[in-house]
Chain A
């Protein structure tokens, strides 16, 4: 009996990104399979965030080729797969004037998701009692929990985390780990970047990025 080949979720071959004459990424080869938790560490300015935005298809490569969730990089095909990607970035992508509940409800309405799941998700992340607090008045840790709730609501296939664990308490760090397990157990994958290699314990594979070049750690 032959097993069906598992298609990788991300395939990069010789990818290079240049902006304003600066080479941000050079000759990057990467493959992310279902179930992978890929950790990428590197100093500030090494290209970690650029790599993550590339995987998120928010940046186009200048050289090389690749696919993300089957869509070819740098083509309109990527528009169709973006909904299946989740990104928790440096800056919170929340509407500050809305409450915690309203932010998630907004996401649910935009994506045509089941709005009755919003409150249960908030309670799972421990924000049930703070649901009606404005995000503007929330701490960074609380805002991070809202972003995690966002990912639970959307259930992305490819989860990207940019320094997601920095500044979090033990409870919230536990949430990140639980979210990671949920994504990978459903056949998805996680790519997480951090300047601190200690945050990447538990990854199935660890890579190091330096001056825009990626290598096994």
Chain B
């Protein structure tokens, strides 16, 4: 199917370029891990406090730096590249899906590294729990953030202050994702019910996908 073929190709090239440039793994990920140092150094070494806020700090950095990872491709788009995609017959919905998939993969790697670093530096309580459910929650969060950032990138494309604007769009709209993922992870740790929070996460992802595909064409038209 043409849509899936084009989406797969957009995602593939996006990951190849990232592999060669390394902006995510060489710059953003270390920067995010370094940011974990700020709170303890500013607050003072209060271990009990750090254990308590570890999860919250993780999700805060996950959104703030995850946004940068997911927005980087839109930020690097030139008008010539956008015209190229338009005239190559690439379905705007395929471009949306492809970028969301590549963003999801990069975000998942980022979240795994950030999780390990938070574990080491903040020693938050992590019960055994249901690891597959936790991984699924993280992947759903990554997908949602990638879809949201791709959408925000398209909405703000071509505008002078698009970097700040796209971030401003993503941050508040990511709250359902943060809520769903954080509460699911906390619930797994406490061995409490996670169904409603997981469904919030899933519903948000589905909504973002449907909206993203539906508005891709009109947003492309709005460029003209």
Q: Is there a direct interface between A and B, measured as CB atoms under 8 Å apart in the complex?
A: yes
What's the nearest-Cβ distance from chain A to residue B2, in Å?
A: 7
Known A76-B217, A98-B13, A106-B9: A87·B87 in contact at CB below 8 Å: yes
Interface class of chain B by DSSP: helix
Q: List, in ascending order, chain A residues with CB within 8 A of B31's CB.
A: none
- Which of A86-140 touch B at CB < 8 Å? 86-87, 89-93, 95, 97-98, 102, 106-107, 109-112
Tell me if B81 and A93 are in contact (CB < 8 A). Answer: yes
Contact call A59/B224, Cβ cutoff below 8 A:
yes
Contact B17 A91, beta carbon cutoff 8 Å:
no
The answer for the CA separation of A15 and B58 in the assembled complex, in Å, is 55
| A82 touches which of B10, B17, B78, B87 (Cβ 8 Å) | B87
B211 at the interface (CB under 8 A from A): no
Give the distance in Å from the alpha carbon of A191 to the alpha carbon of B9 in the complex: 31
Size bin of chain A's contact surface: 20 to 34
In the complex, per-residue mask of B1-37: 1 if CB is within 8 Å of any chain A CB, else 0:
0100110011001001100110000000000000000
Q: How many residues of B contact A (CB 8 A)?
A: 26
Task: Given A98-B13, A110-B90, answer yes or no on A91-B78 (Cβ-Cβ < 8 Å).
Answer: yes
A85 at the interface (CB under 8 A from B): yes
Q: When the two chains form their complex, are residues A57 and B224 in contact, meaning their CB atoms are under 8 A apart?
A: yes
Q: Give the distance in Å from the alpha carbon of A83 to the alpha carbon of B2 in the complex.
A: 13
A53 to B79, alpha carbons, bound, how many Å? Answer: 12
With A and B bound together, what is the CA distance between A58 and B5 in angstroms?
24
Of residues 19 through 66 on chain A, the ones whose CB sits less than 8 Å from some CB of chain B are 53, 56-60
Please judge, given known A-B contacts A76-B221, A98-B16, whether A56 and B21 are in contact too, CB under 8 Å: no
Q: Using an 8 Å CB-CB cutoff, how does the interface string of B77-112 with A read, 1 for contact, 0 for none?
A: 011110110111110000000000000000000000
Known contacts A87-B83, A91-B78, A95-B13, A110 near B88 by CB under 8 Å: yes
> A: which residues have CB within 8 A of B?
53, 56-60, 74, 76, 79, 82-83, 85-87, 89-93, 95, 97-98, 102, 106-107, 109-112, 154
Given A93-B81, A93-B84, 8 further pairs, Cβ under 8 A: A58-B223, A76-B217, A83-B89, A85-B87, A93-B83, A95-B81, A109-B9, A110-B6
B→A interface (CB under 8 Å): 2, 5-6, 9-10, 13, 16-17, 20-21, 78-81, 83-84, 86-90, 217, 220-221, 223-224
